[in-house]
Structure 1
């Protein structure tokens, strides 16, 4: 039986160290981590890797259930996939495990709370943006792509697929930037 830890934060500027330390202290021999949103399972390669490696009797350990996901359906599906592999899910805070029936009930409730919390965060964010727009202080989110570099590469004769590889985005994003011009 292996204890496999999974740590996640939503943004690049957040720190994983506290989660990693807790998982290692809890006896997780393997700990996988990533910096990606928990709103869905899209783009969560480390989580997919953990699920692929689970064997009967293994235990997936997370510090809090919202680290596993912020959507109730996703969380329940993840727990179901672990059970299909005859593995368990354990949350450290509060300490809950799928080894018993009560654990399933608590996990479902915690999943619902995580989803509700995500909705509250989005609502507060929306309110803050509206307030900033009203005050004339809103400048929009940070641009993730170097638009000038994309345009320069295109002007130099580089194709959209090659540009996408170079700057680390999709071809569709390259096309959108090029259409802005």
Structure 2
């Protein structure tokens, strides 16, 4: 049986192109999900792994849809191999039914991981450079220094609860608590 797997990282993305490509190459069953590839909890991938049998072929449109790291991809490929299941990636033209296809799989996976590491390193360098110039990353605090002083004053009177103070400043209690700890 030809089994497809499609994944997009967020609800804003559409998996239609992947689903069409998998249907066009003859997939009889397609598992798809909208979830980040970083996490290990991908319920549809787990269902796919539970359902594959000897002689099946797992097909993805692109290699990065299956796994986000080389070790993740190799572990999945090993799981396929243990069950005598072949693997095909359409965009990279990888078919593990041949020795060449398996070699290409490992090479492309290594290059993809290398590229992700380069991006991560460049991001870290950029953030460090911004920090040196006095820029600070992240979200702006919901409560200003002045708001925190007012919240402390409101709470010290004993007439107002933390829930009421949080509601007054339109923040959650955990946000208020975090601001008060600083």
TM-score normalized by the length of structure 2: 0.69
Distance 2:33 2:120 in 1: 21
Q: Which of structures 1 and 2 has the bigger CA Rg? A: 2
d(CA) in 1 for partners of 2:126, 2:6:
29
Cα distance in 1, alignment partners of residues 3 and 176 from structure 2: 44
Q: How does 1:106-121 map to 2 (within 5 A)?
A: 106-121=104-119
Gaps of 5+ in 2: 141-161, 164-173
- Cα deviation for residue 5 of structure 1 reads 0.6
User: Which structure 2 residues correspond to residues 1-181 of structure 1 after superposition, within 5 A?
Assistant: 2-40=1-39, 42-127=40-125, 129=127, 134=133, 136=135, 138-140=137-139, 180=178
Matches of 1:18 and 1:122, distance apart in 2: 27
Over 6 Å off, 4+ runs: 176-179
Q: Summarize the Cα distance change of 1:131–1:16 in structure 2 as closer, same or farther, 3 Å threshold.
A: farther
TM-score in terms of structure 1 length: 0.69
Over residues 149-172 of structure 1, what are the superposed CA-to-partner deviations in whole Å (9 max), with x where a residue is unaligned? Answer: xx97xxxxxxxxxxxxxxxxxxxx
Per-residue Cα deviation, 1:92-124 (whole angstroms, up to 9, x for no partner)? 012111101111111101111221222233334
Give the Å deviation of 1:179: 6.5
Q: Deviations over 1:43-75 (max 9, x none)?
A: 111111111100111010001111111211111
Q: Contact 1:70 / 1:111 at 8 angstroms: preserved in 2?
A: no
- Offset of 1:37 from its aligned partner? 2.5
Distance in structure 1 (CA, Å) of the matches to 2:34 and 2:134? 32
Q: Alignment RMSD, CA only?
A: 2.8
Q: Return closer, same or farther for 1:51/1:131 CA change in 2, 3 Å cut-off.
A: same
